[in-house]
């Protein structure tokens, strides 16, 4: 297949690292980014790099007690730019990148590894209070307000039901101070959309394959579109969320197969 006319991805900078990376996040409004992962001795890695005259300068090399699986700046203010992380021990930890030895917030959020995290209400994006959502291997999705130690909301498997691994979470529909939704995807193909204002499950379905990523087109508008990426068949499912009414369980989808 001829791809010469297709958009090209060109490597700009290459830098060797001594840990296994799991996630990277740009530090908002800067030329810096954070790389998170795990060292060979199971300690976590939280490194900060800066673009500097065509090179990559290491600003911070921090080691944490447990491997760091995921992170987000979504619930932080522009001035503070604190990063919220989920680790292999199930802890939700918020760091000030200038003082990584003293976490701003730390709480046992899940029984085991936190697979996914997202933030909303920070960085002047969206409305409402800053909140963090986490999804874990224990099958739970929990909503956090960084100002308190206990979760605001917990979506857990029912009694007697097997705990399915939650692989991805996302905020959306945050177009007012009252409205906000959480989307979650699981290893068995379950997709759930929970309305925080109505305190009810707005939509749920099963896409037959593990959901590796779920994302709204924008967090700060009335929910419009959502994509669900699957672990098998390299497939993306496209949801027209404006067609979903409260408690509806059927929605038009569009499949896009990658070559």
Q: Is residue 79 part of a domain?
A: yes
**pLDDT tens, position by position, 166-221:** 999 999 999 999 999 999 999 999 999 999 999 999 888 898 889 999 999 889 88
6 or 75, greater pLDDT = 75
Domains in the chain, number? 1
Q: Is residue 119 part of a domain?
A: yes
The token duo for 209 is 């394959």
Q: Is residue 210 part of a domain?
A: yes
Alpha carbon 14 to its chain's center: 25
Q: Is residue 244 part of a domain?
A: no
45 or 222, greater pLDDT = 45
**pLDDT tens, position by position, 44-78:** 999 999 999 888 999 999 999 999 999 999 999 99
Report pLDDT for 9.
84
163 or 184, greater pLDDT = 184
SS3 readout for 208-224: CCCEEEEEECCCCCCCC
The token duo for 235 is 């497939």
Q: Is residue 7 part of a domain?
A: no
Q: Strand pairing partners for 197? A: none
Asked if 56 contacts 13 with a C-beta cutoff of 8 angstroms, the reply is yes
- Whether the pLDDT of residue 10 is over 90: the answer is no
Whole-angstrom CA distances from 216 to 131, 137, 141, 234 are 16, 22, 17, 19
- Report the side by side order of strands in the sheet with 44-52: 20-26, 32-38, 44-52, 55-64
- Whether the pLDDT of residue 4 is over 90: the answer is no
Asked if 92 contacts 111 with a C-beta cutoff of 8 angstroms, the reply is no
Confidence band, pLDDT 50/70/90 cuts, at residue 235? low
In terms of residue numbers, what domain contains 159?
20-221
Q: Is residue 245 part of a domain?
A: no
Confidence band, pLDDT 50/70/90 cuts, at residue 231? confident
**pLDDT tens, position by position, 103-162:** 999 999 999 999 999 999 998 877 899 999 999 999 999 999 999 999 999 999 888 888
Report the DSSP pairing between strands 68-72 and 131-136.
Answer: unpaired
Radius of gyration over alpha carbons of the chain, in Å?
19
Asked if 9 contacts 23 with a C-beta cutoff of 8 angstroms, the reply is no
CATH number for position 190: 2.130.10.10
Q: Is residue 5 part of a domain?
A: no
Q: Is residue 241 part of a domain?
A: no
The token duo for 223 is 């929910």
CB under 8 Å to 224, separation ≥6 — which residues? 216, 217, 218, 240, 241, 242
**Pick from 229, 178, 174, 223: nearest CA to 203:** 223
């Amino acid at each position: 297949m001829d791809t010469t006319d297709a958009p090209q991805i060109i490597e700009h900078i290459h830098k060797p690292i001594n840990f296994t990376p799991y996630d990277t996040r740009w530090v908002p409004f800067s030329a810096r980014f954070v790389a998170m992962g795990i060292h060979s001795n199971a300690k976590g890695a939280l490194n900060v790099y800066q673009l500097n005259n065509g090179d990559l300068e290491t600003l911070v090399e921090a080691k944490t007690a447990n491997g760091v699986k995921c992170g987000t700046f979504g619930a932080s203010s522009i001035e503070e730019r604190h990063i919220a992380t989920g680790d292999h021990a199930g802890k939700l930890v918020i760091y000030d990148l200038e003082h990584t030895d003293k976490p701003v917030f730390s709480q046992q959020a899940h029984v085991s590894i936190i697979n996914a995290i997202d933030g909303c209400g920070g960085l002047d994006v969206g409305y409402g209070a800053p909140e963090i959502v986490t999804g874990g291997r224990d099958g739970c999705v929990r909503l956090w307000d960084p100002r308190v130690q206990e979760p605001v909301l917990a979506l857990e498997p029912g009694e007697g039901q097997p705990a399915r691994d939650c692989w991805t979470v996302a905020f959306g529909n945050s177009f007012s101070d009252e409205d906000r939704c959480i989307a979650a995807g699981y290893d068995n193909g379950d997709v759930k959309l929970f309305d925080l204002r109505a305190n009810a499950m707005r939509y749920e379905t099963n896409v037959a394959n593990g959901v590796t990523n779920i994302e709204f087109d924008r967090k700060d508008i009335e929910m419009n579109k959502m994509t669900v990426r699957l672990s098998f068949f390299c497939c993306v499912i496209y949801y027209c969320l404006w067609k979903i009414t409260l408690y509806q369980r059927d929605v038009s989808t569009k499949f896009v197969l990658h070559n």
